[in-house]
Amino acid sequence: MTPGFPYSTTRPLFGQVAIVTGASRGIGRSIAISLARAGAYVVVNYRQSKAAADDVVAQIHQMGSRAIAVQADVTEPADVDSLVAAAAELGVPRILVNNAGIGSSQLLMDTTLEEWESLMKSNLTAPFLCAKAVLPHMVRAEYGRIINISSIWGLSGGSFEVAYSASKGGLIAFTKALAKEVARSGITVNAVAPGAIETDMLWNLSPEEKRELAEETPVGRLGHPDDVAHAVLFLASPSASYVTGQVISPNGGLVT
Ligand code: NDP
């Protein structure tokens, strides 16, 4: 399927509108900047970190690309509709990266129903709402790239992270099923399942625990948000049109 917009090998995403949820910090920030470097116009979504989101937008403007910061809680249907409507300022959305998510670390026996439901809402319902909101635009354009940020725990299951693992495993099943449903419309749907990446999400690990985790990882270090962004960039590119329903796992060899 030809993309139907100007194509450049140096900026393969030139002029394509990308919505990145949770792009104010961490992995989402790196994804937004990487997509913009490849020429995309980026909708930088955030929930509360306005100053950080504005900073991402400023960086993208400095690169000579376009971006807007849009506040929206992606667990709320009305907010998701406003987010997708706001993207129209840049054009028709061609790329959606469902990155926003929350973590949790505790025994299943100590997990309350409220905590379980909150994880499912952020990590599984939000991608459903965002995909549903952008799909009509992508189907009309007969082109789209949806990339869901899962986790290695969604592949292998993590002790003390049962609820988180279930939400991220669900996201992988969502990815595979939706990929089949929309493939004939020129839309690919893939997941990226990172290992331990140095962001605020690792706040509960002590420096010693981080050192141990880095040593346990075959490549000998924790991941950088850019390690995830590189995988997203590949899946977002027009040339990845034969890759769909797949999971790419930048994890330093921790899970094989
Ligand atoms: P961070 O906690 O560093 O950043 C989370 C981002 O998500 C922030 O931009 C935050 O916005 C946003 N966000 C959270 N909830 C919502 C919401 N309801 N609506 C809109 N935005 C929201 O997390 P990471 O960068 O580490 O994680 C990004 C993704 O990668 C997550 O899905 C996570 O599960 C996944 N992941 C992370 C790993 C890691 O080791 N770090 C490993 C595997 C997967 P705001 O700043 O406004 O609060």
Query: Any bridge partners for residue 17, and if so which?
Result: 41, 93
* Separation between Cα atoms, residue 99 and residue 140, nearest integer Å: 24
* Separation between Cα atoms, residue 242 and residue 102, nearest integer Å: 31
Ligand 1 centroid to residue 97 C-alpha, Å: 12
**Torsion of Cα atoms, 10 then 35 then 13 then 97, to 10°:** 150
Cβ-contact 181, 163 below 8 angstroms: no
164 is catalytic: yes
Listed in sequence order, the residues at least 6 apart from 249 whose beta carbon sits closer than 8 Å to its beta carbon are 152, 155, 192, 193, 194, 195, 255
pLDDT for 4? 57
Cα distances (Å, whole numbers) of residue 198 to 1, 123, 152, 214, 229: 37, 19, 15, 10, 13
pLDDT for 1? 44
Out of 41, 46, 143, 164, pick the active-site residue. Answer: 164
pLDDT for 9? 72
Q: Which atom of ligand 1 is nearest to the CA of 50?
A: 47
Ligand 1 lining (C-beta closer than 6 Å): 21-22, 24-28, 45-49, 52, 73-75, 99-103, 122, 149, 151, 194, 196-197, 199-202
Give the residue from 65, 110, 68, 104 showing the smallest Cα distance to 85.
68
Ligand 1 centroid to residue 89 C-alpha, Å: 25
| Full set of structural domains in the chain with CATH | 17-248 (3.40.50.720)
**pTM score, whole prediction:** 0.97
pLDDT for 2? 47
Give the residue from 43, 6, 243, 226 showing the smallest Cα distance to 145.
243
Best residue for ligand 1 mutational test, from 25, 168, 198 (most atoms within 8 Å of Cβ): 25
Q: Which atom of ligand 1 is nearest to the CA of 122?
A: 18
What Rg do the C-alpha atoms of the chain give, in angstroms? 17
**What percent of the residues of the chain are helix, what percent strand, and what percent coil, each to the nearest 5?**
50, 15, 35
Ligand 1 centroid to residue 199 C-alpha, Å: 9
pLDDT for 10? 86
pLDDT for 247? 98
What DSSP state is assigned to residue 161?
A: B
Q: Which ranges of the chain have pLDDT less than 70?
A: 1-7
